[in-house]
Amino acid sequence: MDEGEAFRAALGPRHDLPRSEPEVAEGIAVQMRHMGMEPLSLSVVRRFRDITATLSPKHIIEIGATIGHLSSWLLAHWSTKDVDSPASYDLVESGARFAVILQRVLERHNATGWGRVLVGSIDDQRARTKAWRLAHVGSTERPPSVGDHADVILVHPSTSLSDDVRASVELLREGGVLLTLEPEVPGEDVTMDTPEGAQSIASFNGWIAMVHDLSSSHDLAFLPVTGGTIVALRRGGVPQA
């Protein structure tokens, strides 16, 4: 099996893992709805968990973690007997008020030794990491900002999705995998006449341009599940001309 076949084989469901929602995750989903936020569908979150479990990353980053719905699914898996936790797990969230909640999620799963919460955009975090690397050439230490050479990066949907994915790809090691959710196509009733419509159309056009750009040098796969289409990218999966 070559690397491309292995990559696609890792994207399937895991029938040996629990399908029911972990107790902590279930409570967070309820809390999100009370806050006016809609969590990702169970099918999407479950497949993110399944792929991550199969890849068994040592270094993982989650971008746009909000209050930890997906995080709690992953942490529940890593809390299972005979399952190794990663060496590092960076939860990046731009909202400072969510950071306290995310920290409690880590504490509840006894993951503060290797998991941490970073506040700010992924682009800002990436820039800080690049600056730190320049100042510490040759260092093998974990940077105080977001980690680089990640094995797996999970990017949550947002209006800045295409920019977040572009920034995240630079943090993947060669052969590392990025997972995200394809944005919905703007409906016929969405027009450029309103600020919301203009933003929706611009965001989707940015996504299309990003997919076109990245597909020339990376391996992309699209996985339709209930609640959306998961997009998986393997860094450097396509030979450059």
Q: Could you report the per-residue pLDDT of 75-119, keeping only the tens digit for each?
A: 999 999 899 999 999 999 998 899 999 999 999 999 999 999 999
- Confirm whether 176 is domain-assigned: yes
Calpha distance 40→3 (Å, rounded): 29
| CA-to-CA dists, residue 48 to 90, 144, 190, 229, angstroms | 16, 26, 30, 11
Residue 230 in tokens: 């998961």
What is the span of the domain harbouring residue 104?
3-181+223-232
- Confirm whether 237 is domain-assigned: no
Q: Residues of the chain with pLDDT > 90: what percent?
A: 82
Give the number of other Cβ atoms within 10 Å of residue 195's Cβ: 8
Calpha distance 153→33 (Å, rounded): 25
- Confirm whether 167 is domain-assigned: yes
Q: What single-letter amino acid sits at 174?
A: E
- Confirm whether 32 is domain-assigned: yes
Q: Does the pLDDT value for residue 191 go beyond 50? A: yes
Residue 58 class from Cβ within 10 Å (0-12 exposed, 13-18 middle, 19+ buried)? middle
Beta-bridge mates of residue 119: 93
Q: What is the pTM of this model?
A: 0.94
Number of domains in the chain: 1
**Domain harbouring 45, CATH code:** 3.40.50.150
SS3 label, residue 90: strand
